[in-house]
Amino acid sequence: MEINPSKSLSICATIVAGKSVVRTRPIFKVQGQFLPALGHLNTFRYLGLQFGSTGTAKPTLFHLRSWLSNLERTPLQPHQKLHMLKVFVIPRLYHGLQAPTTTGGLLVECDRLIRRTAKKILHLSAHTGSQFLHAAIRGGVWAFRSCDTSFHPS
């Protein structure tokens, strides 16, 4: 097995005055080529999470918004869309929210976007109460878990 320099990055850090500083100049050579160093703003994806030179990147709502808009536009029946939301979209979101930089405000916003999408899928008014979305499944409803009660941000 060989390292492919065109598909590889290096993360270099040093200590300056007691603080960790990211080095942006390439210093590692593989097969005669320098491996590009990961800069301050660059990130890479590993196991579905974004990582940068300082660790796990802060999660954003960009992907959730695009997933929800794609789900709204799909030519499926409402119960099929809600099933997709519960089985695929929300677990994928939960995986990304396990970063240590997740804030309570981000979780509340995720909940708001999910509730709004579920109401749009069901053709309900925005003023309709959302307690039926989080009710127990025994009652024949969807039982979406709330993000802000599922995670405890640090």
Looking at the structure, tell me whether residues 42 and 80 fall in a common domain: no
Residues 104 and 39 in one domain: no
Shared domain check, 26 and 83: no
Q: Which of 42-51, 88-97, 121-130, 142-151 has the lowest mean pLDDT?
A: 142-151
Give strand ranges (E) for the chain: 12-16, 19-23, 29-30, 33-34, 43-46, 49-52, 55-56
What pTM, to 2 d.p., does this model score?
A: 0.63
Q: How confident is the model at residue 57 (pLDDT cuts 50, 70, 90)?
A: low
Q: Are residues 11 and 45 in the same domain?
A: yes
Which 8-state DSSP code applies to residue 87? I
50 and 77 within one domain: no
86 and 132 together in one domain:
yes
Same domain for 97 and 139? yes
Domain match, 45 and 73 both: no
Structural domain for 117, as ranges: 62-150
Q: Are residues 74 and 111 in the same domain?
A: yes
Nearest to 11 by CA among 32, 26, 1: 26
The answer on 133 and 71 residing in a single domain is: yes
Residues 75 and 142 reside in one and the same domain: yes
Q: Is residue 5 a contact partner of residue 35, using CB atoms and an 8 Å limit? A: yes
Total domain count for the chain?
Answer: 2
- The 10s digit of each residue's pLDDT in 68-79 is 999 999 999 998
Average pLDDT over residues 64-89: 90
